[in-house]
Amino acid sequence: MNQAVEHHCDLLIIGSGAAGLSLALKLANHCQIIVLSKGPVAEGSTMYAQGGIAAVFDEDDSIDSHVQDTMEAGAGLCEKAAVEFTASNAKKALEWLINFGVPFDQERDPHGGSRFHLTREGGHSHRRILHAADATGAAVQTTLVDAVRQHPNIHLFERYNAVDLIKSRQHKKKVLGAYVWNRNREHVEVIRSRFVALATGGASKVYQYTSNPDVSSGDGIAMAWRAGCRVANMEFNQFHPTCLYHPQARNFLITEALRGEGAYLKHADGTRFMPKFDERAELAPRDIVARAIDYEMKRLGADCMYLDISHKSADFIVKHFPTIYRKCRSLGIDITREPIPVVPAAHYSCGGVMTDFNACTDLDNLYAIGEVAYTGLHGANRMASNSLLECVVFAHAAAEHIQSRLTQDEREENIAPWDESKVGNSDEEVVIQHNWHELRLFMWDYVGIVRTNKRLERAMRRIELLKQEIQEYYANFRVSNNLLELRNLVTVAELIVRCAMERKESRGLHYNLDYPEQVDNPTPTILTP
């Protein structure tokens, strides 16, 4: 019989990406912190973010312009106050990262000194994006992890899954900590904490094809929902148009710069199809290109489409796209001679757990920051390079709010240890594997880039069946990594479908053939448990 284990801290942070680590470092001198990481500490979406972080550093640029660009990208659904809050705190957040040593690219200025190299991405009207080559997320993550490992008040728990939040029995709206599954010992433990912050990232593993790492299973969204928090705008999931389609290439994105340099999208027989969808052809916006590829795949029953740049010189291709060239060569594809098989892939969630500008949720002592949260910033579509920015800006806001409350006295309540007395070891792991594949496949087919009422209803019927099977399994067997993730993914799938059914229009990333027009006064889709 395993002995019950209980840990104590002032702040439990569930998730170890840019949001969670920024919060930990802002508060580390004031309290004891535990940071929970589901795998190795670097294995989250931050590590794979290729773009940069937006902030106004150029004198010709303005915060108003950053706000305007974001509002336009969000297709009429951004909350202006949230956008203004984020944009006006952006420079301060970036200066904090710079002070920690994040190596953003620099260039010579006209006076012989140096300045940050600012680039421009889709949707931005000015150069305002700081970046570290094409691997900004990796530079941010590595810098923050190094700082976290050196701080004596931050305790990193790697290979730990959060199972559920623990709520007070006396004050129903108050969180006391979390049950966590220690993957190293395969045992559930208790972490008692005065404050809990969800920084678990998004939920794109709910789809068959995704650019996200394996850990993006919507854990924070599902746990907060089960505990009683509202969620919003879950119908808006961004899809990247071109992900490499190959059994050995998981989550490898083919940059949009390839199309910018003249690559064509083609059928298997070599014919182009983009000109019939948009006069800009391959250079149309992301959502249009993703919908066109999706339409052609569904129409033909094809597994993928093809992206072809082989008409350019081999020297040009290898010089401009060395990473993609090497990756494809390692899989037996020579992009200087043949096309690349591609599929659209789920990229980032725009909705999540509802918070205010202090990152507070509907429950006392519970915060949510980063992709897990709905702040009102993104509306119906994320704008490039606002994502990492949101993580740091709201981590700083949460840190200030928590710090102001650290001196308050709290009465300790008893927490019941995890009860495994009535469960056994799983007899058939294949059940979980089957449900996992079934869920991701029907979400891709029915609740993907293009939706219809009929497809959404079909998805909901299957979700109801899966929920029963998974709950029965969860009640009878000891937890495992796959079971915990599957339980969370089916919850998130239900939230996505419910939000999609409530939106009677097509806007931004949500496209329903039964409601192709936009309504005049759109509002966020809010679900209450």
Look up residue 220 and give its two tokens: 């924070």
Please report the sign of the dihedral spanned by the C-alpha atoms of residue 324, residue 330, residue 336, residue 341.
Answer: negative
Q: Name the residue with tokens 């004031």.
A: 30
In DSSP notation, 156-201 reads EEESEEEEEEEE-SSSTTBEEEEEEEETTTTEEEEEEEEEEEE---
272-276 CB contacts, 8 Å cutoff, 24+ apart: 273/305
Tally of CA atoms within 13 A in the half-sphere of 315 that contains its CB: 0
Q: Tell me if residue 286 is catalytic.
A: yes
Cβ 244 vs Cβ 333: under 8 Å: no
DSSP code for 510: B
The rounded distance, in Å, linking the Cα atoms of 233 and 503 is: 9
Closest CA to 400 of 117, 97, 20, 30: 30
Measured over the CA atoms of residue 58, residue 261, residue 242 and residue 498, the dihedral's sign is: positive
Angle between the 80-88 and 63-73 helix axes, to the nearest 10 degrees?
140
Question: Which phi and psi angles does 107 have, rounded to 5°?
Answer: -145, 170
Say what the alpha-carbon torsion angle 108, 46, 493, 286 is, to the nearest 10 degrees. 20
Residue 275 β-bridge partners: none
For residues 104 and 524, what is the distance between their CA atoms, to the nearest angstrom?
A: 35
Q: Sign of torsion, CA 104 106 109 114?
A: positive
d(CA 104, CA 276): 41
Q: For residues 217 and 222, what is the distance between their CA atoms, to the nearest angstrom?
A: 9
Q: Is 59 helix (H, G, I), strand (E, B) or coil?
A: coil
**All residues at 6 or more sequence positions from 260 whose CB lies less than 8 Å from its CB, including other chains:** 283
- Residue 236 has which token pair? 């808006």
Q: Which of 128, 286, 487, 503 is catalytic?
A: 286
Q: Which amino acid is at 527?
A: L
DSSP character at residue 277: T
Q: Which residues are catalytic?
A: 286
